[in-house]
Chains A and B, each alone.
Chain A
């Protein structure tokens, strides 16, 4: 029971890291290597807000989400769109966007070092035990998990029940065909990219409640997010969520039952097995 709950809480953390990248990669087709830096930026936003006001860092979501949305919209318009326009194929776009966002990540790191400094940053918020079935869990992790669950559910419902969500999914399935049924593909992609950035930054706000981070730490999150997105299948948000929980549970089970030193190995073995058996990911579509 212990393993299940700790694993679920960790899975919630992973879902937060990966959901934004899924929107950016799965729908907007941009492999954003600066994703982790956006997460750190959100975390810094929450830290700064908490230091200044001593109010709940959750309130920081109110300004972090719109700011991150606007920033990512601008990044897409200025930096990514020219790449999309000149890309002759999906493969070319991926290579170009990887290079461009890789460079972008250094710019983000430089700005964050200049503004917030390079030190370890963290703060204690709700760092107290909560008892579930008689066992102790961190209240901050539970709160972040609930917020992440709400975020995932909201996104899922929005994607599947609204017209705008349908357009997003259509672009994700086939951008050129989506254009034929009068979906503004460029606009929808920009929206998906901006939304992905906002979700990532929101994840950063929630993670900052219990993780120690610094300006250069983003790459850790980018890598984890990448594994989860590919594990779950590109283009399907359900896959990302399921993969995040599988990873969280697997790592916790291995850490508890076998050896904490093998958690990384467990994650990568899982990743390899999925790639061998279902190269398109758990929920991915087979490409023709």
Chain B
């Protein structure tokens, strides 16, 4: 058993080796474990949203000489682990980072279920868990149970509320009618959003004329779009995941789904979505969004230059801001006392890429929940805690 374990870990180390960055510094580097999916169904999302912000952050911190602790500047060394989109693998990686690689910090995991599953492990090993990719309505309960658990994110309901709020405003302004077609992917976040959405639609005075789910990984979305089209809706809402977000938009374009508001949840914020759909993407609504500022524009440029990945318009800037909070807290504490760093997260304001933020009750105070593609930029049109949103536009054509 021992031998097998050893062999397994050596193999993992060998696999991880190319991703390990060694920082050359006189003082020992601050080791940060980044655990996420490099293979498996969550890998495409992690490859855009999860790993690159850490790489950009480490690159910039190291270019500036490192993080300033009491004894001088320490560079940051990232150690990346592949959880193969399997929660048990992710938990094993957390254990290994803490006990074998003895890292100074373990970043939050990629995607909600993984963070929830690993929370007891983080707590037991004495590592705070600062997460971004963790969306759940259970947040208040979880942070109460785990004092080291921080969420740089909003709840599921706030995303459903955001989307439906945008449509309600259009309806109340007389710009669209009250008929909405809603579809969802039969997988956790899609189902959760759809369940939260139904009563919210009714409350907002919408008539749901089509409401169906479809399985994850379908190869043709034409029947879904055709059926929705036949119901003659004014607005179309898809609580979708990336592969179907792409597939639905493609089918909607080909079938000429003539709704004045088109929303698709996860994946709409990827730059690849706009690149693929070109003019057809214009005025499509989706989860996420960001405020158009020169700093943000510069962030996208740097992100591409350093990581060779196009950052998304949902998680990426928030991930980066979260790491700015981490860096500021480490420097303020002046040591790698993890519990002191976590204590520093609480009830303080931090200046970040996305503006001044704080985490009262371990949960981020502000997020953008709905974005809209406007001239190649996924502009935030709704959220909570922020004050500056772009004007929502009607979808007039498919390009």
Interface residues of A (CB under 8 A from B): 2-3, 6, 9-10, 13-14, 106, 109-110, 113, 117-124, 127-129, 136-138, 141, 210-212, 214-217, 220, 224, 252, 255-256, 259-261, 263-264
Contacts and interface: CB of A to CB of B under 8 A. Distances in A.
A36 to B, nearest CB: 12
A261 B186 contact: yes
A211 B243 CA distance: 8
Contacts, number: 115
A233 B48 CA distance: 41
Which 6 pairs show the lowest CB-CB distances between chains A and B?
A118-B47, A255-B223, A260-B214, A261-B213, A118-B43, A212-B246
A215 B219 CA distance: 17
B212 A124 contact: no
Interface stretch (B272-280, B289-297, B319-327, B369-377): B272-280
A117 B38 CA distance: 9
Interface stretch (B63-71, B121-129, B252-260, B356-364): B252-260
B247 A211 contact: yes
B226 interface: yes
B343 to A, nearest CB: 36
B215 A113 contact: no
B140 interface: no
A212 B266 CA distance: 14
Given A119-B309, A124-B276, A260-B214, 19 more contacts: A6-B222, A10-B220, A109-B39, A119-B44, A119-B47, A119-B272, A123-B276, A124-B250, A124-B277, A127-B250, A128-B254, A129-B256, A138-B222, A138-B250, A211-B247, A216-B41, A224-B219, A260-B224, A261-B212
Nearest to B185: A261
A212 to B, nearest CB: 4
Contact of A117 (B217, B247, B309): B309
A263 B214 contact: yes
Contacts of B214: 255, 260-261, 263
Interface string B294-333: 0000000000000001000000000000000000000000
A117 B39 CA distance: 10
A118 B222 contact: no
Given A6-B223, A10-B220, A260-B224, A119 B48 contact: yes
B17 interface: no
A264 B214 CA distance: 9
B40 interface: yes
B44 A260 contact: no
B256 A136 contact: yes
5 contacts: A106-B39, A138-B250, A212-B243, A255-B224, A260-B212
Contacts of B246: 120, 122, 212
Nearest to A260: B214
A180 to B, nearest CB: 43
Count chain B CB atoms within 10 A of each CB in A10, A220, A255 and give the residue with the most.
A255
B251 interface: yes
Interface in B259-284: 267, 270, 272, 276-278
B256 A10 contact: no
Given A118-B43, A127-B253, A216-B40, A13 B272 contact: no
Contacts of B254: 127-129, 136-138
A9 B309 contact: no
B218 interface: yes
Contacts of B276: 122-124
B223 A256 contact: yes
A124 B278 contact: yes
Contacts of B212: 259-261
B227 interface: yes
Interface string B3-16: 00000000000010
Interface in B178-218: 183, 186, 212-215, 217-218
A233 to B, nearest CB: 22
Contact of A263 (B39, B47, B215): B215
A80 B199 CA distance: 57
B367 to A, nearest CB: 23
A138 B44 contact: no
Nearest to B48: A119
Nearest to A141: B220
Contacts of A263: 214-215, 218
A113 B38 contact: yes
Given A110-B39, A216-B44, A211 B218 contact: no
Nearest to B184: A261
Contacts of B39: 106, 109-110, 113, 118, 215-216
A174 B224 CA distance: 45
A127 B213 CA distance: 24
B227 to A, nearest CB: 6
B162 interface: no
A211 B219 contact: yes
Contacts of A255: 214, 223-224, 227
A136 B183 CA distance: 21
Count chain A CB atoms within 10 A of each CB in B37, B43, B46, B223 and give the residue with the most.
B223
B288 interface: no
Contacts of A127: 250, 253-254
B242 interface: yes
B183 to A, nearest CB: 7
